[in-house]
C-alpha cells in the first residue's frame, strides 16, 4: 500500500520483502568491498559529514572541498564504480515511471547518532527523473518540507525495505534524516546487514544524472 505524502512524493512501506532485503544487502556488501565508503566533506569548509558514502553505477556523487559533483571513478581508488545492484535496479524499473535507467546509486551509511541535514538533491542535469530511495537496517526519522528551506516540514519513519519515490512536483523538496531509531524500538527490528555497525542504517538512492538521448 503506497502513500502519496505530497504530489510526486510516494512512500512504499515494506516494498522489499525479507528475501529481497537480504539479496540487496549482499549486493551492497560486494560493492563496498570493491568501492570502500568515504567520509564526504563540505565544499569550501571541508567539514566532514557524519554519514559515510560510496556509489555504484556509471556515475557516483562525491563531495569534497572542491564541491558537489558526479564522477565516474572512486575518489580513493580511482577505479570505476561497481555495477548497479540488480535488486535496486529492479526497484527502479518498477517504481520510477521513467523510460531510462538510473546512472548513479548513492550508498549512504548511517552509524547510530549520525544525521543528514535538510537538503535538496539538485546536482542532476535531468530533473524530470525521480530519485528512488531504498532503506536497509535500522529505522530512521525522515523529514521533508517544500521547495524552500523555510517551508514547514513533516516527518515519517522509514524502515528497512521501504521505498520512497521523490519525483514530479516534489523532485526538489528539502529533506533529511533527523535520527535513527534504536534497534528493538517498536516494531520492525529490521534485519542487520553485515556491513553495518550495530544499529546502523543504509540508504540507497538511485538517480538519473544526464538527460537520456532521444531515440
Enumerate the H helices of 40-186 as residue ranges. Answer: 86-95
Q: Which of 165, 158, 147 is nearest to 203 (CA)?
A: 158
Query: CB-wise, 24 or 53, nearer to DNA?
Result: 53
Binding segment toward DNA, per CB under 7 A, in 13-21, 46-54, 92-100, 188-196: 46-54
Binding segment toward DNA, per CB under 7 A, in 44-52, 75-83, 158-166, 187-195: 44-52
Question: Is the backbone of residue 17 left (phi > 0), alpha (psi -120 to 50) or beta?
Answer: beta
| Radius of gyration in angstroms for the set of CA atoms belonging to the chain, rounded to a whole number | 16
Q: Which of 85, 104, 91, 112 is nearest to 27 (CA)?
A: 85
- Within residues 99-118, the interface with DNA by CB under 7 A covers 106, 115-118
Binding-site string for DNA from residue 56 to residue 75, where x marks contact by CB under 7 A and - marks none = -----x-x----x-------
Binding-site string for DNA from residue 126 to residue 165, where x marks contact by CB under 7 A and - marks none = -----------------x-----xx-xx-x----------
Number of residues counted as binding DNA (CB under 7 A): 29
CA–CA dist 133, 139 (Å, integer): 13
**Taking the CB of residue 12, how many other CB atoms lie within 10 A of it?**
20
Provide the binding-site residues for DNA, judged by CB under 7 A.
42, 44-45, 47-51, 61, 63, 68, 106, 115-123, 143, 149-150, 152-153, 155, 176, 178
Amino acid at each position: 500500500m503506497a502513500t502519496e505524502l505530497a504530489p510526486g512524493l510516494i512512500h512504499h512501506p515494506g516494498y522489499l520483502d525479507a528475501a529481497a532485503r537480504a539479496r540487496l544487502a549482499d549486493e551492497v556488501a560486494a560493492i563496498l568491498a570493491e568501492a570502500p565508503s568515504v567520509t564526504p566533506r563540505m565544499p569550501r569548509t571541508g567539514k566532514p559529514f557524519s554519514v559515510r558514502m560510496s556509489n555504484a553505477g556509471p556515475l557516483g556523487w562525491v563531495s569534497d572541498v572542491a564541491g558537489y559533483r558526479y564522477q565516474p571513478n572512486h575518489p580513493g581508488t580511482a577505479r570505476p564504480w561497481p555495477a548497479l545492484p540488480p535488486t535496486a535496479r529492479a526497484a527502479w524499473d518498477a517504481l520510477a515511471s521513467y523510460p531510462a535507467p538510473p546512472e548513479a546509486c548513492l550508498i549512504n551509511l548511517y552509524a547510530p547518532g549520525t544525521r543528514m541535514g535538510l537538503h535538496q538533491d539538485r546536482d542532476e542535469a535531468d530533473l524530470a527523473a525521480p530519485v528512488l530511495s531504498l532503506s536497509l537496517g535500522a529505522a530512521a526519522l525522515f523529514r521533508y518540507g517544500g521547495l524552500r528551506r523555510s517551508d514547514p516540514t513533516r516527518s515519517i519513519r522509514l524502515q528497512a525495505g521501504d521505498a520512497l519515490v521523490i519525483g514530479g512536483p516534489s523532485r526538489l523538496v528539502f529533506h533529511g534524516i533527523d535520527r535513527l531509531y534504536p534497534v528493538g524500538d517498536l516494531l520492525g527490528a529490521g534485519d542487520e546487514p553485515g556491513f553495518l555497525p550495530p544499529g546502523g542504517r543504509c540508504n540507497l538512492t538511485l538517480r538519473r544524472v544526464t538527460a537520456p538521448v532521444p531515440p
